[in-house]
């Protein structure tokens, strides 16, 4: 059986499974559509949260991000896991106790203000829509790479599948498909990683293999890697730079993670407050299975590439063009890898032209520049099974895993978007007397509308794929996180404070990003060049989230000091959110 047929079979089976689950888990009420009827087991919810959270970026790109930079990009590992500590202790249990369906609903009720509700809806929509674009394009690309369809066709297939289970099942359908998607993606990620770790270190656990002895050289794996890299003019894998910026970026990712509405609403699905606490722990267990493996995949894949390009070591000859492994040819076709024999010696020299002393070394050895001219970081995960010489079905599994990662996150985001529209705008603002049945219908219509919008934006991405994520995290950190946290931890915080805090966080963070990345990310409209010399206090736009959060907290504090305290019943509401007793009452609603 050829690889294409295998890919179609494995991906087709996984899709049939998702649709089967959707039919089994149809939503019959708004409670089921928004919160899966609050009947989800905390371990199951943890697994669904892990799939909800881990996007195409985690699955496909993160190992590559770490591999090409090394220590400094540990920020992604810590930032995207450490946010769960904040969520588990500062938000999730209390919001579950509040017992409603959406994040803007808490903001609107707690701050007794429709304005606060609408501002929260706007923040949610900006965060979730920017985030979903990346998922849809990611799914389209995964399709086109593995299933030999155009990425446009791929995007339509992906949208159609999400449409079926999200519109039909709402949160209930999404929860159980996310569980299936988690299993697909973690198996796909782990199998090649285990084999590569065995080949390089003899240790079957990649996270341990990373710190083990390399069987080829008898030295620790990281020492071998550092040696090869520095000999070829690259920076050392384990050495870092600018620790304060690293810390700031990690903080930005952590606060942003804790403030993402599509993750927060997952904790509304468990039966009890105590379950919400456990569930956050389980979510991190399932996330950690991938996140502890990713840095090992990164380092090992990088080492594999180096030894493939320099089979005799750096002192010997580079790899001959005809000796390049098969996966090299396969992936060259996709444009993710590209070689160019600049000096015409029939060999491919891979090194860092701008590294210290490399110009002299190149002149001495007759190199005419780096000849591995294209090297996309996503290749490290995508080609992993081929690098480890694993059978075709593992390659097919990577295709299914990448799609599972993209689709599960997209579905979670779409639910956050549609529930904000149907529940917070249509029901709470425009038509409070709407019947449950009509609201459920509107929830489905909003979901369908959100999918159409996401598909459109996926087909016509505004040309800022990489920056989009920075915007989503920066805004989640600067708007929703502080507002939610103050709503729980400060009884004195009033509506004026919360509203102005959110607005200042939203506007200042957006303007700071737009200043360097272009207004609404339209290239050429940026007012300052995106270089370190122009940054305010040296803070890059991607690191701005915590600053926005501090501004939000500060503005909220001073505005609320200057205005009247919230009414008694709101203070009682805060009291009741703080204690778990009585959470069951929300079930009947």
Partner 1 sequence: MAQKPDNNAYWSANLRLVTICLVIWAVVSYGLAILLRPLISGIAVGGTDLGFWFAQQGSILVFLVLIFFYAWRMNKLDKEHGVDEQ
Note the residue count of the chain: 589
| Phi (first) and psi of residue 478, to 5 degrees | -85, -20
Q: Which is nearer to partner 1, 207 or 449 (CB)?
A: 207
Q: Is 243 in the site for partner 1 (CB under 8 A)?
A: yes
Burial class (CB in 10 A: 0-12, 13-18, 19+), 108: buried
291 binds partner 1 (CB under 8 A): yes
Q: Are 76 and 65 in contact (CB under 8 A)?
A: yes
DSSP β-bridge partners for residue 372: 339
Binding of residue 39 to partner 1 (CB under 8 A): no
Regarding 251 and contact with partner 1 (CB under 8 A), the answer is yes
- Which region among 16-24, 280-288, 308-316, 477-485 touches partner 1 (by CB under 8 A)? 280-288
> Could you say whether residue 295 binds partner 1 (CB under 8 A)?
yes
Per CB under 8 A, does 85 bind partner 1? yes
Complex with partner 1: residue 126 or 274, whichever CB lies closer:
274
Neighbours of 71 (CB within 10 A): 17
Residue 202 binds partner 1, judged by CB under 8 A: no
* Pairing relationship of beta strands 319-320 and 347-348 according to DSSP bridges: antiparallel
Closest CA to 556 of 484, 502, 478, 491: 502
What minimum distance in Å lies between the beta carbon of 582 and partner 1? 7
Task: Determine, following the binding rule CB under 8 A, whether residue 238 of this chain makes contact with partner 1.
Answer: yes
- Counting Cβ atoms within 10 Å, is residue 27 exposed (0-12), middle (13-18) or buried (19+)? buried
561 CB contacts (<8 Å, ≥6 apart)? 497
Q: Which stretch binds partner 1 (CB under 8 A): 100-108, 266-274, 368-376, 464-472?
A: 266-274
Q: Which stretch binds partner 1 (CB under 8 A): 348-356, 389-397, 479-487, 572-580?
A: 572-580
273 sits near partner 1 (criterion: CB under 8 A): yes
CA distances from 5 to 13, 185, 209, 270, 331 (A): 12, 20, 34, 40, 18
User: Is 250 one of the binding residues for partner 1 (CB under 8 A)?
Assistant: yes
Judged by CB, which is closer to partner 1: 134, or 540?
A: 540
Choose which of 7, 49, 55, 93 interacts with partner 1 (CB under 8 A): 93
Cα(99)–Cα(64) distance, rounded to whole angstroms? 40
Tell me the CA distances in angstroms from 103 to 56, 116, 202, 423, one per residue in order: 24, 11, 47, 10
**With binding defined as CB under 8 A, does residue 441 bind partner 1?**
no
Pick the closer one to partner 1 by CB: 7 or 72.
Answer: 72
Give the one residue of 240, 325, 338, 462 binding partner 1; rule: CB under 8 A. Answer: 240
Instruction: Return the range that interacts with partner 1 (CB under 8 A); candidates 99-107, 383-391, 521-529, 576-584.
Output: 576-584
If the CB atoms of residues 277 and 427 are measured against partner 1, the closer one turns out to be: 277
Rg of the chain taking only CA atoms, in angstroms: 25
Q: Which of 3, 29, 71, 321 binds partner 1 (CB under 8 A)?
A: 71
Whose Cβ is closer to partner 1: residue 151's or residue 226's?
A: 226
Tokens of 481: 């996180």
For the beta carbon of residue 562, count every other beta carbon within 10 angstroms.
Answer: 10
| Spatial CA neighbour of 571 closest among 485, 494, 480 | 494
Stretch that binds partner 1, among 4-12, 66-74, 492-500, 550-558 (CB under 8 A): 66-74
The answer to whether residue 274 forms part of the interface with partner 1 (CB under 8 A) is yes
**272 near partner 1 (CB under 8 A):** yes
Q: Does 207 bind partner 1 (CB under 8 A)?
A: yes
Q: Of 74, 115, 153, 343, which lies in the binding site for partner 1, with binding defined by CB under 8 A?
A: 74
Beta carbon nearer to partner 1, 239 or 431: 239
Distance CA 336, CA 141 (A): 12
Q: Is 292 in the site for partner 1 (CB under 8 A)?
A: yes
* Euclidean distance between CA atoms 51 and 41, whole angstroms: 16
3-state DSSP assignment of residue 101: coil
Q: Measured at the alpha carbon of residue 385, what is the angle toward residues 468 and 78, in degrees to the nearest 5?
A: 40
The angle formed by the CA atoms of residues 418, 424 and 430, to the nearest 5 degrees, is 115
CB closer to partner 1, 283 vs 400 = 283
- The reply on whether position 540 binds partner 1 by CB under 8 A is no
Q: How many residues bind partner 1 (CB under 8 A)?
A: 57
First vs last Cα of the chain: how many Å apart? 54
What CA–CA distance (Å, rounded) separates 209 from 176? Answer: 33
> Is residue 575 within the footprint of partner 1 (CB under 8 A)?
yes
User: In the complex with partner 1, which residue's Cβ is closer, 117 or 277?
Assistant: 277
User: Rule CB under 8 A: is residue 198 a binding residue for partner 1?
Assistant: no
Q: Which stretch binds partner 1 (CB under 8 A): 105-113, 168-176, 219-227, 466-474?
A: 219-227
Output the CA–CA distances (angstroms, integers) from residue 550 to 483, 509, 536, 557, 570, in the order listed: 11, 11, 16, 10, 24
Cβ nearer to partner 1, comparing 39 with 220:
220
Minimum gap (Å) between residue 293 Cβ and partner 1: 10
**Spatial separation of the C-alpha atoms in residues 447 and 418, rounded to whole Å:** 5
Can residue 90 be called a binding residue for partner 1 (CB under 8 A)?
A: yes
Nearer residue to partner 1 within complex by CB, 78 or 390 = 78
302 contacts partner 1 (rule: CB under 8 A) = no
Residue 285 interacting with partner 1 (CB under 8 A): yes
Let me know: does 539 contact 248? Beta carbons within 8 Å.
yes
Rounded to whole angstroms, the Cα distance separating 208 from 83 reads: 24
Which residues of this protein are in contact with partner 1, per CB under 8 A?
66, 71, 74, 77-78, 81-82, 84-86, 88-90, 93, 207, 210-212, 219-224, 226, 238, 240, 243-244, 246-247, 250-251, 254, 272-274, 277-278, 280-281, 284-285, 288, 291-292, 295, 572, 575-576, 578-584
């Amino acid at each position: 059986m050829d690889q294409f047929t295998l890919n179609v079979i494995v991906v087709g089976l996984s899709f049939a499974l998702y649709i089967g689950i959707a039919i089994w888990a149809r939503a019959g009420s708004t409670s089921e559509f928004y919160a899966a009827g609050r009947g989800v087991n905390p371990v199951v919810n943890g697994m669904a949260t892990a799939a909800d959270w881990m996007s195409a970026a985690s699955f496909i790109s993160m190992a590559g991000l770490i591999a090409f930079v090394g220590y400094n990009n540990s920020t992604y590992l810590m930032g995207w896991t450490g946010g769960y500590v904040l969520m588990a202790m500062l938000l999730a249990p209390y919001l579950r106790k509040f017992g409603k369906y959406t994040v803007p609903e808490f903001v609107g009720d707690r701050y007794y203000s429709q304005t606060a509700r609408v501002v929260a809806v706007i923040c949610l929509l900006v965060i979730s829509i920017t985030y979903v674009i990346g998922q849809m394009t990611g799914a389209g690309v995964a399709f086109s790479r593995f299933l030999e369809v155009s990425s446009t066709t791929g995007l339509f297939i992906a949208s159609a599948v999400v449409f079926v289970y999200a519109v039909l099942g709402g949160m209930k359908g999404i929860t159980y498909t996310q569980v299936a998607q988690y299993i697909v993606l973690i198996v796909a990620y782990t199998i090649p990683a285990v084999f590569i770790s065995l080949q390089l270190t003899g240790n079957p656990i990649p996270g341990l293999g990373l710190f083990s002895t390399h069987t080829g050289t008898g030295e620790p794996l990281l020492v071998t890697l550092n040696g090869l890299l520095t000999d070829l003019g690259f920076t050392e894998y384990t050495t870092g730079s600018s620790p304060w910026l690293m810390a700031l970026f990690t903080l930005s990712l952590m606060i942003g993670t804790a403030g993402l509405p599509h993750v927060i609403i997952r904790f509304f699905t468990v039966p009890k407050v105590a379950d919400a606490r456990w569930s956050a722990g389980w979510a991190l267990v399932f996330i950690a299975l991938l996140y502890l493996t990713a840095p090992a995949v990164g380092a090992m894949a990088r080492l594999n590439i180096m030894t493939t390009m320099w089979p005799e070591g750096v002192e010997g000859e580079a790899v001959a063009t005809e000796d390049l492994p098969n996966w090299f040819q396969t992936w060259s076709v996709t444009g993710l890898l590209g070689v160019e024999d600049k000096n015409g010696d029939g060999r491919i020299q891979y090194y860092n032209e701008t590294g210290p002393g490399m110009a002299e070394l190149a002149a001495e050895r007759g190199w005419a520049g780096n000849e591995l001219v294209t090297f996309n970081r996503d290749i490290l995960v995508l080609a992993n099974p081929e690098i480890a010489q694993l059978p075709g079905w593992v390659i097919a599994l990577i295709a299914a895993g990448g799609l599972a990662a993209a689709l599960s996150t997209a579905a979670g985001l779409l639910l956050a978007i549609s529930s904000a529209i149907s529940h917070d705008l249509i029901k709470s603002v425009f038509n409070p007397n709407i019947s449950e049945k009509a609201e459920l219908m509107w929830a489905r219509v909003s979901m369908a509308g959100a999918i159409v919008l996401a598909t459109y934006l996926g087909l016509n991405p505004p040309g800022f794929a990489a920056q989009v994520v920075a915007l989503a995290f920066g805004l989640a950190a600067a708007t929703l996180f502080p507002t939610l946290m103050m709503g729980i931890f400060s009884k004195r915080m009033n509506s004026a404070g919360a509203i102005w805090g959110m607005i200042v966080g939203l506007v200042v963070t957006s303007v700071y990003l737009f200043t360097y990345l272009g207004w609404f990310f339209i290239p050429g409209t940026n007012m300052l060049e995106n270089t370190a010399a122009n940054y305010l206090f040296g803070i890059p736009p991607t690191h701005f989230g915590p600053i926005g959060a501090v501004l939000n907290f500060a503005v909220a504090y001073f505005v609320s000091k200057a205005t009247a305290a919230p009414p008694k019943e709101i203070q009682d509401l805060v009291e009741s959110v703080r204690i778990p007793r009585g959470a069951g009452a929300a079930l009947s609603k």
